[in-house]
Chains A and B, each alone.
Chain A
Amino acid sequence: MSERDVTRPNDTGRNIPPVAISETSTLVNPTGSWKYIMPRYEDRVAPCNAGCPVGIDIEGYMYLIRQGRLREAADLLVRENPMPAVTGRVCHHPCEDSCNRASLDEAVAIHSVERRLGDMILAAPPPPAPERTRTETVAVIGSGPAGLSCACFLTRMGYGVTVFEAAAEAGGMLRLGIPEYRLPRAILDRQIERIQAAGIDLRTSTRVGTDVPWTELDEFDAVFVAPGAHVGKDSRIEGAEGVTAIRPGLEFLKEVNAGERPDLGERVVVVGGGNTAMDCARSALRLGADVTVLYRRTPREMPAIPQEVREAKQEGVEFEFLAAPIGVELDGGDFTGITCQRMELGEPDESGRRRPVPIEGDVFTVTADTVLTAIGEDCDLSFLPDEVHTTWGLVEVDALGESTSAPVFAGGDVVDLPRSVADALGGGKRAAIGIDHFLREKAGEDVTEVPLDALRFGGGNVSALRYTKDEDPIPREAPVNETVTWDQMNPNHFHTVPRHEDHFHDAVDLRSAFGETNFGLTQKEAIEEAERCLNCGVCNRCELCLIFCPDMAISRREDGGFEIDMRYCKGCGLCAAECPRGAVTMTREGI
């Protein structure tokens, strides 16, 4: 036995590790038994999707762009919106108003990304026409956004579709009402050609009720009524009857948009604060007139798209707020201008906006050569049979566009208030679903009720992809049809990034030019803008849950998603708290 040194540890034969590391694997300790709540991946709905009247999976195509899958992004977009090159230009983009990113810095410029994808689609050859799988045929009255949308979705569902258009060319208000500088005709033509190429029988210069009697539509199995609103509201200016210098703005727009260049004189007054008023003012400006917009409320109450108002101002349109035309100024029988009543804002009316009330005795004169009235449009529904009920000048329909007299359906401006291109497109889509369901039921197919709530993005418009149950290019984890609010997200992981604004034509040489004023974003900018999307409510594989899990209970699946090993998940909730998008939920279920 050797001499032992009592001043040194006697560790011969013992294998003490250099650090305090457990001798056994921690896998023997299934800490999952501690939990009383557990996480679950649940994809929710981004507020842009819920806020889109068309029912576009905006968040979805942003996700695909982020992954560099541009073509698939464009496909997903056009699945829900048949004319993105149009809406990318003229939509009032309520999606951006609901964008959660606005709470972080600025909303994603969704319209610019949509426009870029829309132009990309137009540049590619059209897809093959969908197969005709149904024997039934549908008549569509009107080739505006509502009619074409309904026709497009019906052809995709396999129906034969005939579109009746009163005007010489298809497009409805897109062609007649919206000026070229906002929507170039080449873009509109190509967009319509693509929809038509799906096998639609388009009959232009054919007005239902005169060229084709309503009764002739009996040969179709269903009818979709979407003729639009083309009758300018009466200006109610005293003494205006027979004064040719006072005319409906929409009529003027139709002339200009048809290529005419009417002489308005030097001074033009536009009455109204909506998009038609802005279109009239900016078109009149381009014909060389000095233009003043007369609006009876304040800028805050204007229904026009704010960007349109900004551009009108930049181009030199003058605005006179809190002013209403009440009379005509004549000099020896010649029209010289209008008498205006100064207004002030009173109590809110049924629209929630403060009602303008006259300030007694405060009357002034505005000189003008022409007055364009743009205070709203009415629908001409005289061609409809009595069984199709109308209320306040609008067709009565249910949630899927079905009128009181099946198989007549309706949508677009004859149904909606307020009206927009996006609402018309969305209404066309809903009606296509309604017609499909109606015809299947009629054919004796075993169809259950349309699960309307499940088809909607959150509380928003319906998804065609959900209705047809086609494959979603984005793998969804246990989707829940609820819209994610900003307070359900964790902003700590986001960085502020300035929004890309559209490039605009220089305002200096706008007069007399009807070329497009907004050039949108470059491809690179649009992709960067898509990368600003927070993918609210949807797992975009950012991996933060995996990084933050203190038990390393989260791992990646082969398909890119994540799975949680519940044997080790202690239910601490860090993954749910750290998830930037609110795509992880803590639940008691299954415990």
Chain B
Amino acid sequence: MITDDDRATVESVINGNSEDFALLVGKYQLRIIQLCLKYTKNYHDAEEVAQESFIRAYRSLQNFRYDSKFYSWLHRIAVNCSLNYINSKEKTKEKETITENTGLNDTRASDDNPDDYYDLEELSKKMHKVFESLSSELRDIVVMSDIEGLSYEEISHKIDIPIGTVRSRLHRARDLMVKVIKENT
């Protein structure tokens, strides 16, 4: 069995607290939408497929056996949903070719209100400005931990400082960058 940060939340949902599923959606929404986007090549379709993936995951959560991490399981569901989307889109294209019905374009993008969305490009620029303003000590630790995925212990060995220092520096750097996100969301 694999240790999983999400285990408690998953168990809570299975035990009837369906509202807790929102925590899992909130945590993985960006990663799943980004994954679906690689297949759909279109944000609106990616959002639809991601939504379908979360709903499917919720419905089959009783079958989740903890033999992998919750995210790995969710990732597989999202890949399957994306492949189904591609298949159904190909079928629709075939039908459109037969009936020569090319006048129906996707109007969803033009109906959207920009206020309904977080502009992540803009947010990224603001956050990276803060990142660039950090001292090199803090920046290195952020890169090692949050980009390269090293553990506190590995960072501690690599740059020869105590684990406590790694933790406090990382905490300080993250606080500054998360503050920008909080202010803009």
Binding between chains A and B:
no
Contacts from A to B (Cβ < 8 Å): none
Contacts from B to A (Cβ < 8 Å): none
